[in-house]
């Protein structure tokens, strides 16, 4: 069975995380993704370790970081600064549907590989640029990193304990959400191309995405007129909706309505709290959280995490533990949903990868290719565009390819 995007070819000129993640999503959905890398060094993340995947002889080889974002791709090494390398990219563009790049503003224009130049070769090309601040604006020519954008967008101002410093999220959410929005933009542009034959430029910025992704936090400011503050793991608009310390760990409780609150209080052995006029509705609980939460915390602290997990499950109150990543992969739900996928790797070992979370009933995600070794597919890809063995040898001698 072929994937939903198996008729598409993607040129992935990006490196590190946001661009490669977008390319991996498209690859998981069936697209032929060609990862274009610098000769010798390749994607920066190939060396971002430890940890590294070890080969069959136990030698460190590929960094876990690189392996996490480059499944279902083929790798070709091309020097974009070399005229012959640029010619190869133009040749590939003529036979491609999508190009993803995350170079600084203007860098690819110096090589004639910008959208305007390449769309003249292939008018149907969907060209996605992923940068820190987009193709316009006062910051457009600045480098943008996930950490910087988490701070600049306001995300860190609402993350962390009230009496602690601003804190970044533990994963690169600005990169990853930009990748996902980028894929949405690409698919929308392809739909337009199907109707008109015209490609277009998809301009994605980490900063724009992170601001848009703040959702209700932004709206709390826009409607209420005040910037939300850090409140730890609690929720600005729902109470109780936070973590609580137990006798041996922590538990998360998410009470979404007044009926759940009554059942929650019954499970705690404190039904009187649900009858208290100050706590009868969520609006009142939000207004009186400083009075309610300490009482709940005192009760929950008396028993173990497992005790409360069992109690809340019995009364259908949303809850959960705080797992380590190891515990998350061991969780029965993660096992049932097959969130770990092991793939045979050319190094003679299996590489564990994280499953794509998209489940399609007719065209399911496929795991065809492990993250490629640097330049592993150069010869095959060049042969596909008519560059024979003698010509490839000449290009290597010139340094245009690796």
Q: Extract the tokens encoding 143.
A: 């480098």
**Quick one: tokens of 397?**
């001698």
Quote the distance between the C-alpha of residue 257 and its chain's center.
Answer: 31
Q: What backbone phi and psi angles, to 5 degrees, belong to 68? A: -75, -15
C-alpha pair distances (Å), 204 with each of 32, 91, 105, 108, 297: 22, 25, 12, 16, 43
Run of H or E including 391: helix 389-398
Catalytic positions: 175
Among residues 251, 232, 237, 229, which one has the least CA distance to residue 297?
251
CA distance 83 to 397: 14
Number of neighbours of residue 70 by Cβ within 10 angstroms = 28
* Burial class of residue 88, CB neighbours in 10 A (0-12, 13-18, 19+): buried
Helix (H, G, I), strand (E, B) or coil at 281: coil
Report the candidate in 359, 369, 318, 363 with the shortest Cα–Cα distance to residue 338.
359
Closest by CA position to 210, among listed 241, 169, 162: 169
The answer to whether 24 touches 37, Cβ cutoff 8 Å, is: no
User: 3-state SS of 220-272?
Assistant: HHHHHCCCCCCCCCCCCCCCCEEEEECCCCEEEEECCCHHHHHHHHHHHCCHH
Other residues' Cβ atoms within 10 Å of the Cβ of residue 340: 13
How is residue 223 written in tokens?
A: 């409607």
Alpha helix positions (H), 304-387: 305-314, 325-330, 332-336, 378-384
């Amino acid at each position: 069975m072929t994937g939903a995007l198996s008729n598409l070819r993607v040129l992935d000129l990006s490196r590190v995380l946001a661009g490669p993640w977008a390319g991996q999503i498209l690859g998981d959905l069936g697209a032929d993704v060609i990862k274009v890398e610098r000769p010798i060094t390749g994607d920066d993340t190939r060396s971002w370790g430890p940890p590294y995947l070890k080969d069959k002889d136990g030698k460190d080889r590929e960094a876990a970081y690189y392996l996490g974002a480059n499944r279902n791709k083929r790798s070709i090494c091309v020097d974009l600064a070399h005229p012959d390398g640029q010619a190869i990219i133009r040749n590939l563009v003529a036979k491609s549907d999508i190009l993803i790049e995350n170079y600084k503003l203007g860098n690819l224009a110096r090589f004639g590989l910008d959208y305007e130049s390449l769309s003249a070769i292939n008018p149907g090309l969907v060209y996605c640029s992923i940068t820190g601040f987009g193709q316009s604006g006062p910051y457009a020519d600045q480098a943008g990193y996930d950490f910087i954008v988490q701070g600049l967008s306001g995300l860190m101002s609402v993350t962390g304990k009230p009496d602690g410093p601003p804190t970044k999220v533990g994963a690169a959410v600005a990169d990853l959400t930009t990748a996902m929005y980028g894929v949405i933009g690409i698919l929308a542009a392809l739909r337009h191309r199907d109707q008109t034959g015209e490609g277009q430029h998809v301009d994605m910025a980490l900063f724009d995405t992170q601001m848009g992704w703040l959702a209700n936090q932004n709206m709390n400011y826009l409607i209420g007129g005040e910037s939300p503050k850090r409140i730890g793991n609690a929720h600005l608009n729902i109470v109780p909706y936070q973590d609580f310390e137990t006798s041996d760990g922590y538990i998360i409780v998410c009470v979404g309505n007044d009926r759940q609150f009554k059942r929650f209080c019954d499970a705690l052995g404190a039904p009187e709290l649900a009858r208290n006029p100050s706590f009868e509705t969520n609006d009142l609980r939000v207004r009186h959280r400083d009075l309610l939460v300490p009482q709940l915390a005192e009760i929950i602290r008396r028993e173990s995490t497992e005790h409360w997990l069992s109690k809340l499950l019995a009364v259908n109150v949303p809850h959960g533990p705080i797992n380590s990543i190891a515990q998350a992969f061991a969780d029965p739900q993660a096992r049932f949903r097959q969130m770990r996928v092991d793939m045979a790797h050319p190094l003679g070992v299996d590489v564990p990868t994280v499953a794509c979370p998209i489940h399609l009933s007719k065209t399911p995600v496929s795991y065809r290719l492990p993250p490629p070794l640097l330049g592993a597919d150069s010869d095959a890809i060049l042969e596909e565009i008519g560059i024979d063995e003698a010509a490839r040898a000449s290009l290597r001698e010139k340094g245009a390819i690796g």
